[in-house]
Amino acid sequence: MLLAIDMGNTNITLGVYDGQELRFVFRIATDIARMRDQYAADMLAIFRLHELEAQQFEGAIVSSVVPLLDRTVCDAVEMITGKRPLLVGPGTKTGINIRIDNPAQLGADLLVGAVAAVSKFGSPCVVWDLGTATTVSVVGENNTFLGGAIMAGVATAVKSLVSNASLLFDVSMEAPKSVIGANTTSCMQSGCIYGTAAMIDGMNRRIFNELGYETPIVVTGGLARDILPHCQGRLYYDDNLLLEGLRIIYEKNKK
């Protein structure tokens, strides 16, 4: 079995693969203050919950956007499985041709998502990830990563707004009955849900205009389920896109 770990700013998502089958997905909070032993204990507890033994894993792979935790989490995985995980980074075989100004700056999450999207839908394609940050990655012909855009995530933007506006407060991420809100709560919800959906639609049109053609649009991330129903056009949702990308990369790099 394979342990795939996607380490984000808010959550660490772990997936257990048996061959190409994703058997389990579980999440723990990202916390740079936690030690190796604490992460190891959490993983062991979750494995036991699913009646898994750490010795069953033949390998592990990690993608991370939290460099301060790279060694901590990799050490925790090696401590309980006996296997040093592959950390996605420069030199990792992915099958993606990176054509941005500084390839070393490309986030591992963007690269991993592109790998999975190309595997499922081919290239060219556009990949949206709605998490702590909202990101869009554009893969052109011949698996070429062209670039993209980074925006504040929906929940991140709301937290910033609430902390800087005395009369505003946190709201649930659900769509109000109409775009035109009649109270503070519905106004904020309209901005979060419909505003983000309109931004995605508008960015897709601009991307297609620059490319000169349309592509499949793949959407993933923790907030995608709330936003996607209000977007226009055909968008493909894949909650486990990054885990699948990690599995594919592991197979490409397995000795």
C-alpha–C-alpha distance, residues 92 and 82, integer Å: 21
CATH of range 2-87; options 3.40.1190.20, 3.30.420.40, 1.20.1250.20, 3.90.1150.10: 3.30.420.40
Q: What is the pLDDT of residues 14-59, one digit of tens each?
A: 999 999 999 999 999 999 999 999 999 999 999 998 888 888 899 9
pLDDT at 255: 64
C-alpha–C-alpha distance, residues 182 and 11, integer Å: 34
pLDDT at 118: 97
Q: At what angle do helices 70-81 and 36-49 cross, to 10 degrees?
A: 50
* 2-87 shares its CATH topology with 97-240: yes
Q: Which residues of the chain have pLDDT under 50?
A: none
What are the sequence ranges of the domains in the chain? 2-87, 97-240
Q: Which of 119, 144, 137, 147 is nearest to 219 (CA)?
A: 137
Catalytic residue among 6, 109, 129, 238: 109
Single-letter amino acid, residue 170: D
**10 Å Cβ neighbour count for 141?**
12
| Helix, coil or strand: residue 228 | helix
Q: Which of 136, 130, 131, 132 is nearest to 150 (CA)?
A: 136
109 a catalytic residue = yes
| Homologous superfamily assigned to 97-240 | ATPase, nucleotide binding domain (3.30.420.40)
| Helix, coil or strand: residue 247 | helix
